[in-house]
Structure 1
Amino acid sequence: MGKLLVTGGAGFIGSNFVRHILENTEHSVTVLDKLTYAGNRANLDGLDPRRCELVAGDITDAELVDSLVRDSDAVVHFAAESHNDNSLRDPWPFVHTNLIGTYTLVEAVRHHGTRFHHVSTDEVFGDLELDDPAKFTEETPYNPSSPYSSTKAGSDLLVRAWVRSFGVAGTLSNCSNNYGPYQHVEKFIPRQITNVLSGSKPKLYGAGHNVRDWIHADDHSAAVLRVLEAGEIGRTYLIGADGEADNLTVLRTILRLMGRPEDEFDHVTDRAGHDLRYAIDGERTRQELGWEPQFTDFESGLRNTIEWYTEHRDWWEPVKEATEAKYREAGQ
């Protein structure tokens, strides 16, 4: 692999992956990103233009996708509409990007015989009971609950079908909730951090008992690279860092780390169909690929993330007010 095509590489997880590639390998990268509200040219600032090229375009544009895939040695597919609240307000962009976009990509890699890795989410499995000792595994049946997770589940199945029916050299990964630098302020952790930094109270859905399994974006990037390098074609790899925590605990930890009282937040209307608990069993991935997360202390990772948002106000402040206005309209 010399030249990678990274879809959604100007978004949160994609841009962290691009930075990881340029810092840890000799590969060059072409980023294909539609640059919607969640994609940001600034996420790629400071990268060597001789090794990283940004192409503004849509993954549903078959002609553009075909030309980029033809010139690439491998494709890593991050591009997706990914915010549950937005999918409940308007499902169509999720159908368009997550399903039609993935179809366009797998057709292009089929035509050119290009290595393909598809990045997905643990939300395709639905949720677990709060007191259930089980975790999601590679054998867990799909049971998505929102337009976001259902279209991601559909995109996973497209990739699997193209691997089986057409011999596409593809792998998949399902990852738990990511956090870290460059994450849009609509997401749970950066929303709370930037609320404190901007002088307003953080917001908590309902009672905050919902549990997420957190992983730092740097660890996710390292795991995806290992799958790309050593993964078995046709396999699905679960990526997690054993970072389960309920939303109330995460919020109180953020407040404490930022020197604020742990009860200084507002309860807001809960999300419709809010999944209870996600938990990834990533042991097989670790054993087979030799990958281990580095941010095993969630509090340390949160401190790292808080520092980044504190030092990069110019990155998030221009979109903060508009984001909060949308939440206010929804009573959140």
Structure 2
Amino acid sequence: MKIITKILIILLSINVMASEIAIVPPHDVLDEFLEDEVNFSQIDSLSESIDISKIRYRKYKPKEYIRTDPLIPENFYASLTKNSKLIKLDGNEVFYNERKVYVKAREIYYGGKWSYILSKDGSIKYKTHTKNLTSVQDIIKLRSTIPADKTYPVKTQNHTSDKVLPLQTHLLFRNDTSNMSYVGQNLGYSDGNANSNTVSVKLYYESFLPVDFGLVFDYQYGVLNFEDSSESIWNAAYFGPTAKYTFYDRGSFALNTQLAVKKSLFFNASDNGQKISFSTLLWQIGLEALYKTSYGNISLGYENSFIRSSVKSELPGQAPISPEKTTMTQSSFSIGYQFTWNL
């Protein structure tokens, strides 16, 4: 009987083992991969079963860590909560503040549990829990920056200011050579070449503009020479606006160009005691070189002028040769002295 029982137990054991190793229907390979330990053979089998070419992998760009805070925590103003625990670093004495006070503090470490309390001279004497401190830095920025201990005088209703008008003055002497044929014709001659000297005064206002504007006054005295060796004396005065542009200025040397339009105040020519008057408008353009010294500027220049003239009064018993306006020319060399003064 015992033998039959052992045989039955062996047969039942074999049946159980056969059921445990029986082949089950195939399952998802991914589940097998997730259940077992990762190895290269399983990765290869997964690659055969899954089309990895259709899988998109998200690319992550690593961020470089850059510390924006200083290496040592900065001092800040804060309010210390009432009854906060304070530990004196020298001797580890512990006490509690009886009221809220404003202090200058600094964290021992960024985000640390403890913070230092600084004395008025900036030295570290105490420490407390950081949670006891409330920063007031943003509130301090709202304070007025006007010193409280400084007294400002009351502003009056009357205000004065000194205004300076810088004037640049040119004193010039010119030697002129002119073609005064129109004047000679009205004096009864066929020609008229003139040599004259001119004294000129120019005033320019020195402004922030690249061009200086001003006024000019000329007095001219000359002699008309004719073919028959006779002479006629003439004189004139001009007044008008002028402008100057300095296109080169380096060191003690400068170059400028000038333009002036001058109207005659009078223009008189006399011959044998008879006087004839003209009305003229003079357009003048010139080039001037300046040499700067500590006592003022010395100038040398050349000017060319076009004189538009007409007879204002003729000789007694003689009609004007040409009642129409006629243009005459004049060339000049000048030497001068320039200085600036304030009005």
TM-score by length of 2: 0.20
Structure with max Cα Rg: 2
Higher strand share: 2
